[in-house]
Chain A
Amino acid sequence: MSDDFEKHVRRLSPRAAPTALRRQVLGTVAGELHRANIRRRDRRIVVAIAISLFVAVAANYVIAARQDAALAGLYGPTPESRQIGQVVDMVLAVTDAKTAAYVRARLERAVGKPDPAETLAAVKYYHETICRMATSAMEIPYEQKKNRSEVGRDRAGNPDRGLPTTQRAVGLEIRFTA
């Protein structure tokens, strides 16, 4: 530092902050700290509520899963879907038990793993198969058809408009004209 400047500066004492300012500033600091504590407490409450909501949802999921497992233990596995049962019944009506079991397994797998591409392919395949089987089935005489339990009275129709029973069984009430 320049000697002159240092010499002059040392002879001067810088003015301090006003005495009253200390009390004022520290009062403001105390107020701000108090407000910060309140804000922190409010934030903790919000976090606690969020955590308890999350815990409640998670506990609900766990309890529901345990209850399902307990019910499965008591009453056996979850019953199969009604739609699958209907499809399998239809397949059983036109084919044999082995094919029906195969169809059931494929459908249950498709329901368990709902891969859209696989499900669509399976539906298309079974639709075509059932249609093919239905159209190629032998026509059953009206008298015989009337006595079959799976054919409803209203659907038995008249002798002159009889359709192949297999078509009725799979719900394909199409009158072939050609």
Chain B
Amino acid sequence: MNQLGKRLASGDRDAFAELYDLYADRIHHYLTLRLGTRDLADEVLQETFIRLVRYHRKLARAEDLRSYVFRVARNESARIQSKIQRREGHRATPVSLDLFEAVDGDDQAHRELADLVTAGLARLASAHREIVELKVYGRLTLAEIAQVTGLPQGTVATRYRAALAQLKRFFGKEL
């Protein structure tokens, strides 16, 4: 990982391609959930990589490259979000098709489940939803989530447990 950071810091183009292949899908999913649409997620993912290139020398010093990249994406999304908020006054809510792949034949049960999970996530407070997203789909550790969000690790763990309890109640009611 540190080797990749050094290659990125030296301006190696292939290293950026490697970084994209490692994290782009997970970051894109995270951004879709945060911003509400895949188009905005595309835009912010691109901005994230531009930001990473502009400050690529710092990447050699990043202790945890994965959380660093997620943090940059989070900052970029916050910037876009506030701009949209000012312009439109509301935030779009993602639909299940934006978040989850359709299965072959698009079976009804699978689609209902995707809707249910999307609805469950939408019911969470945004701070809780972000932690669940980073843990489950971003596959970050609690320590890494703490670095990304700037929260103490204990707070992250507490919020994650609270979010899971809320989701459990929601699924128990719905299923």
Query: Chain A: residues with CB nearer than 8 A to chain B?
Result: 1-2, 4-5, 8-9, 11-18, 21-22, 24-26, 28-30, 32-33, 36-37
Contact = CB atoms under 8 A, between A and B. Distances in A.
A16 B114 CA distance: 15
A163 B28 CA distance: 105
A176 to B, nearest CB: 83
A20 to B, nearest CB: 9
Q: Which of A12, A18, A33, A36 has the most CB of B within 10 A?
A: A12
A30 B45 CA distance: 15
A25 B25 contact: no
Contacts of B28: 15-17, 21
B13 interface: yes
Q: Which of A2, A17, A24 has the most CB of B within 10 A?
A: A17
A32 B114 contact: no
Interface stretch (B60-68, B81-89, B148-156, B166-174): B166-174
Nearest to A9: B136
Nearest to B29: A14
A24 B29 CA distance: 18
Interface of B: 11, 13, 16-17, 20, 24-29, 32, 38, 41-42, 45-46, 49-50, 53-54, 56, 97-101, 110, 113-114, 116-117, 120, 136-137, 164-165, 167-168, 171-172, 175
Judged by DSSP, the binding face of B is helix
Contacts, number: 101
8 contacts: A2-B167, A15-B97, A17-B28, A22-B20, A29-B20, A32-B50, A33-B11, A33-B13
Contact of B46 (A2, A21, A33): A21
A5 B41 CA distance: 25
B117 A15 contact: no
Given A29-B53, A32-B50, A13 B101 contact: yes
Contacts of B110: 11-12
Contact of A25 (B20, B56, B165): B20
Given A2-B167, A12-B113, A18 B38 contact: yes
A27 B29 CA distance: 21
Given A12-B100, A18-B42, A5 B54 contact: no
A17 B46 CA distance: 11
A144 B88 CA distance: 109
